[in-house]
A and B are shown apart, each in its own frame.
Chain A
Amino acid sequence: MNRIYNIGVIGVGGQGLLTLGRIIGLAAIHAGLDVAVAEVHGMSQRGGSVIVNVRIGEEPSPLIPVGGADLLISLELLEAVRYIQYLRRGGVLVSNDFIWPPPLARYPSRDEIVKSLKSKEINLYIYDANKASTEFTGSTVSANIAILGFTMGVDEELEEILGLEKVAKALEEVFKGRVLEVNKELLRRSYIEGVKIAEKRRGSR
């Protein structure tokens, strides 16, 4: 791989972003690629704004430049808008269909956010990863895995670079026992959902 492929993983502290970044990093290792996974977060344990910079390519420096991200995976809609300028023209944004407002704040509605995002030259996918996780595991705790599977399904470039099997293998290094089995199955299901959506979109063009 000559150029560096940049993925910004964004959301709110506590949504499993660091784990998600690590899984992509491990998958890159299995795909025989070099990678840097840089975690940028502030002083809070939970509830702060977080971006994990994943850069796949030879000896990457740690941080994605503004306009350098090929793909943004967001676990939260307000954060998707906050970090959107990292996305390059024509890049892909996959966002969880979920708003987690900061305390005491006034914020835009879901429809306002989606409408604003649609005004940009990006490939936008909104996916309810919380729902996908809850339906299958009983809680939102695996929303990070659901959105990763879905993203692999809709983003052909990421699928080509990593491959779903390498991601599944990476899960084995992070989870064990029943949690591992559940996450592997959730990854596969949400991937299929993504593939279907992508096919439908291609068909309608």
Chain B
Amino acid sequence: MANPLLAGRGSRVLLLGNEAIARAALESGICVAAAYPGTPSTEILEAIIEVAEQCSVYVEWSVNEKTAFEVAYGAAIAGLRSLVAMKHVGLNVASDILMSSAYAGVEAGFLVVTADDPSMHSSQNEQDNRWYGLLSHLPVIEPSNPRDAYELTKESYALSEKYKIPVILRTTTRISHTRMPIVLSGEIASGRNCRGVFRQDLSRWVLVPGNARRRKLELVKTWASIMEKEGEEPFIRIINPGSSKVIIASGIAFSYVREALNLLNAVDKATVIKVNMPVPLPRAPVKKVLESASEVLVVEELDPVVEMQVKDLAQTEGYSIRIRGKDLIPLNYELSIESVYSAVKKFLGIEGKTPWESIGVVETPTPIPPRPPVLCAGCPHRLTFYIVKTAANKAGLKNPVYTGDIGCYTLGYQKPFETQSTCFEMGGSIGVANGLVRAIDNPVIAVIGDSTFFHAGLPPSINAVYNNSHIIILVLDNLTTAMTGHQPHPGTGISATGKKTTRVLPEKILESIGYRVYVINPMKTKESIEAVTEAFREYKNGGMVAIVSRMKCALEVAREARRSHVTLPLYAVIEDKCTGCMACVNLTACPALIVEPGAKKPRIMSDLCIGCGLCASICPYKAIIVVNNPTPGYEKLWWEP
């Protein structure tokens, strides 16, 4: 069970796109890597963390993407190769330093990996981050599959060092989260010297207006030079030159175009330009192909970033050819082989049936219910939401508005909780609450996770106290960054590589800002309802209150219980006592509680129940009881005092 990430040159290993980027970065000799977790980018840093010690790489989960960028950039201006990775929206957070880093440049290869999420599988938008290349005048490299990601990551380091600027590597969910066999073409560098030198150079590192103006001229020169000189492999490739029909494909779109042409037996019917550097689009090779073209189709996912550059080029050169793109290729969501196949077919004027014949849908007498993402069985957020809603009733807190944030707890927007009325961006729960209280008379409760609180929750928390915005802050502290796969954060006191470090507690921060903080353990449902009721009463009397609800993520508890051979309680519904009132089912929406078709009473799926006990505490008839012998002291797994 050797780690494929450490396999030797020549090995053929199955790597996730993100792992391929990590391996290539290690081969490129990075000394520093930093990130804030975010789907679909997370596995890049996770892969590096696994081998960080063997490879002598410094690696960290930073508190947010801006800081992660700065960490990696700091190393790069001191002459060490480095990497920062983030999801697409993370680059919005880091965009301030991105723009400046383009002006000041780097001393060693520096890669900014942005993993975009077309179709929004796990995101609030599907922005196309190739625009950031045009905005910052930095080159964007875009692989078409995980194998490409491996090779192009290495080429990106060379490019970054050649021009002494940061390089943006843009992947998408479909590349980051696809595994492919990759033949490793290099070895991981060993015995490197990871000590850099910071050379004082005020005209470069101090971007006061006079210096920034000079640096902008340098940047414009570099931009033009890349556009002119990098018009060959590995950044652009011309396949089957000489055809009058031309298809230009960038990133993942190339994989679909290639397969579509194969299916249509039309590989020789079009010249294909495979664009690996969509920004800036190399002009010379495209110009040469356009000279003999009659019609062009640009295939790319999301925005017409390449299409606009091709049209710009054709206009400048005075070519009067039809350039098609977003009229045939959707502007929204992920591409698919079906959508690209039909566009290519139409473009080439080929007739015939599609090669796929579905058996169609299957109708069932009761329709198949949707399966939206849900809070896991035993999820602490379920307990907290129940407690907070119950306490709000008890304290007479009328029609509270729950501003929400980014994390598993966002799922609280669903019934029966309805404890998230907004979800925009990291830290937005508290920020937007600051504004809502200026507009409405309802109490506003800002609900934010622990990792999100450290990421972007501090400035708006301070803002609320400073500007006297009367809000309630609810920090859901499950002692991990759960949604992205359980990464540690400052509140855990554990570093990325599992070392003990200073623990930063949300309640200490909030207290020092000026909040009266109530820390609750939601496993103790009754006590917690009392405490939160008191907090709400204090709020009604004008107090600035915050609540920290601390209970470990159920998945972590289950994992630790297995590891340490602790038996957690297992609950069951006692048929004789159960009246079928369904309070447990309707108030918890726990995936472990099911009602079979035709059944009048619920049943607990023993494989799923991990013994949080919420259903038992809700049951008015005491019909839900523990039916095994839990290990004494099992509660400690849930709560760390």
- Pairing of A with B: yes
Q: Tell me if A87 and B1 are in contact (CB < 8 A).
A: no
Q: Tell me if B590 and A103 are in contact (CB < 8 A).
A: yes
Q: Which residues of A contact B483 (CB under 8 A)?
A: 43, 45
Q: Tell me if B373 and A43 are in contact (CB < 8 A).
A: yes
Which residue from B39, B256, B338, B371 sits with its C-beta under 8 Å from A79? Answer: B371
Query: What distance in Å separates the Cβ of A124 from its nearest Cβ neighbour in chain B?
Result: 11
Q: Which residues of A contact B590 (CB under 8 A)?
A: 103
- Knowing A34-B181, A66-B356, A89-B359 are in contact, say whether A106-B376 is a contact too (CB < 8 A): no
State in angstroms the CA–CA spacing of A35 and B182 once bound together: 10
- A89-109: contact bitstring with B at CB < 8 Å (1 yes, 0 no)? 101000000001111111111
Q: Which residues of B contact A84 (CB under 8 A)?
A: 359-362
State in angstroms the CA–CA spacing of A97 and B554 once bound together: 27
Q: Does A176 contact B (CB under 8 A)?
A: yes
Query: What distance in Å separates the Cβ of A123 from its nearest Cβ neighbour in chain B?
Result: 11
Which residue from A26, A47, A107 sits with its C-beta under 8 Å from B14? Answer: A26
Identify the closest chain B residue to A63 (Cβ): B336
List CB contacts (< 8 Å) of A18-34 with chain B: 21-22, 25-26, 28-29, 34
- Knowing A35-B180, A82-B368, A104-B589 are in contact, say whether A176-B362 is a contact too (CB < 8 A): no
Measured as residues with beta carbon below 8 angstroms from the partner, the interface class of chain B is 35 or more
Q: Tell me if A105 and B178 are in contact (CB < 8 A).
A: no
Q: Tell me if A78 and B368 are in contact (CB < 8 A).
A: yes
Q: Does A161 contact B (CB under 8 A)?
A: no
Query: What distance in Å separates the Cβ of B396 from its nearest Cβ neighbour in chain A?
Result: 29
- B1-17: contact bitstring with A at CB < 8 Å (1 yes, 0 no)? 11010000000111000
- Knowing A42-B373, A45-B408 are in contact, say whether A101-B594 is a contact too (CB < 8 A): yes
Which residue from A29, A48, A61, A63 sits with its C-beta under 8 Å from B371? Answer: A48
Q: Does B411 contact A (CB under 8 A)?
A: yes
State in angstroms the CA–CA spacing of A65 and B607 once bound together: 34
Q: Does A192 contact B (CB under 8 A)?
A: no
Q: Which residues of B contact A48 (CB under 8 A)?
A: 371-374
Measured as residues with beta carbon below 8 angstroms from the partner, the interface class of chain A is 35 or more
- A1-40: contact bitstring with B at CB < 8 Å (1 yes, 0 no)? 0001000000011100000011001101100001111111
Q: Does A198 contact B (CB under 8 A)?
A: no
Q: Tell me if B364 and A108 are in contact (CB < 8 A).
A: yes
Q: Tell me if A38 and B122 are in contact (CB < 8 A).
A: no
Query: What distance in Å separates the Cβ of B608 from its nearest Cβ neighbour in chain A?
Result: 8
Which residue from A44, A107, A113, A176 sits with its C-beta under 8 Å from B369? Answer: A107
Q: Does B555 contact A (CB under 8 A)?
A: yes
Q: Does B259 contact A (CB under 8 A)?
A: yes
- A41-83: contact bitstring with B at CB < 8 Å (1 yes, 0 no)? 1111111110000000001111101111000000000110110
State in angstroms the CA–CA spacing of A21 and B174 once bound together: 15
Q: Tell me if B178 and A36 are in contact (CB < 8 A).
A: yes
Q: Does A157 contact B (CB under 8 A)?
A: no
Q: Does A204 contact B (CB under 8 A)?
A: no
Which residue from B177, B337, B362 sits with its C-beta under 8 Å from A61? Answer: B337
- Knowing A119-B362, A175-B1 are in contact, say whether A43-B121 is a contact too (CB < 8 A): yes
Q: Does A173 contact B (CB under 8 A)?
A: yes
Q: Tell me if A63 and B121 are in contact (CB < 8 A).
A: no
- Knowing A45-B482, A59-B145, A61-B256 are in contact, say whether A40-B369 is a contact too (CB < 8 A): no
Identify the closest chain B residue to A170 (Cβ): B14
State the total of A-B contacts with C-beta under 8 angstroms: 205
Q: Which of B178, B376, B377 has the most CB of A within 10 A?
A: B178
State in angstroms the CA–CA spacing of A39 and B121 once bound together: 11
Q: Which residues of B contact A65 (CB under 8 A)?
A: 336-338, 341, 356
Q: Does B503 contact A (CB under 8 A)?
A: no
- B373-402: contact bitstring with A at CB < 8 Å (1 yes, 0 no)? 110110000000000000000000000000
Q: Which residues of B contact A60 (CB under 8 A)?
A: 259
Q: Tell me if A22 and B371 are in contact (CB < 8 A).
A: no
List CB contacts (< 8 Å) of B605-628 with chain A: 605, 607
List CB contacts (< 8 Å) of B323-378 with chain A: 334, 336-338, 341, 356-374, 376-377
State in angstroms the CA–CA spacing of A101 and B366 once bound together: 13
State in angstroms the CA–CA spacing of A48 and B121 once bound together: 12
Query: What distance in Å separates the Cβ of A155 from its nearest Cβ neighbour in chain B?
Result: 16
Q: Tell me if A78 and B371 are in contact (CB < 8 A).
A: yes
Q: Tell me if A103 and B337 are in contact (CB < 8 A).
A: no
Q: Tell me if B363 and A116 are in contact (CB < 8 A).
A: yes
Q: Tell me if B591 and A103 are in contact (CB < 8 A).
A: yes
Q: Does B26 contact A (CB under 8 A)?
A: no
State in angstroms the CA–CA spacing of A35 and B147 once bound together: 11
State in angstroms the CA–CA spacing of A61 and B371 once bound together: 27
Q: Tell me if B258 and A108 are in contact (CB < 8 A).
A: no
Q: Which residues of A contact B595 (CB under 8 A)?
A: 101
Identify the closest chain A residue to B482 (Cβ): A45
State in angstroms the CA–CA spacing of A87 and B594 once bound together: 29
Q: Tell me if A62 and B359 are in contact (CB < 8 A).
A: no
Q: Which residues of B contact A140 (CB under 8 A)?
A: 607
Query: What distance in Å separates the Cβ of B355 from its nearest Cβ neighbour in chain A?
Result: 8
Q: Does A117 contact B (CB under 8 A)?
A: yes
Which residue from B338, B341, B359, B485 sits with its C-beta under 8 Å from A87? Answer: B359
Q: Tell me if B370 and A62 are in contact (CB < 8 A).
A: no
State in angstroms the CA–CA spacing of A121 and B362 once bound together: 11
Q: Does A160 contact B (CB under 8 A)?
A: no
Q: Which of B4, B411, B595, B598 has the most CB of A within 10 A?
A: B595
Q: Tell me if A29 and B358 are in contact (CB < 8 A).
A: no
Query: What distance in Å separates the Cβ of A106 from its nearest Cβ neighbour in chain B?
Result: 6
Q: Which residues of B contact A139 (CB under 8 A)?
A: 607
Identify the closest chain B residue to A118 (Cβ): B362
Q: Which residues of A contact B485 (CB under 8 A)?
A: 45
Q: Tell me if A106 and B374 are in contact (CB < 8 A).
A: no
Q: Does B631 contact A (CB under 8 A)?
A: no
Residues on B facing A (Cβ under 8 Å)? 1-2, 4, 12-14, 39, 121-122, 145, 174-175, 177-181, 252, 255-256, 258-259, 334, 336-338, 341, 356-374, 376-377, 408, 410-411, 415-416, 482-483, 485, 555, 585-586, 589-591, 593-598, 605, 607
Supply 24 A–B pairs (Cβ within 8 Å), ascending by A. Answer: A21-B179, A29-B14, A37-B14, A37-B179, A44-B373, A45-B485, A47-B371, A62-B145, A67-B359, A84-B360, A89-B358, A100-B591, A101-B596, A102-B374, A103-B591, A104-B415, A105-B370, A107-B368, A108-B365, A112-B364, A119-B362, A120-B360, A140-B607, A174-B1
Residues on A facing B (Cβ under 8 Å)? 4, 12-14, 21-22, 25-26, 28-29, 34-49, 59-63, 65-68, 78-79, 81-82, 84-89, 91, 100-109, 112-113, 116-117, 119-122, 139-140, 172-176
Smallest CB-CB A-B distances: 6 pairs: A44-B373, A67-B358, A105-B369, A67-B356, A61-B255, A108-B364
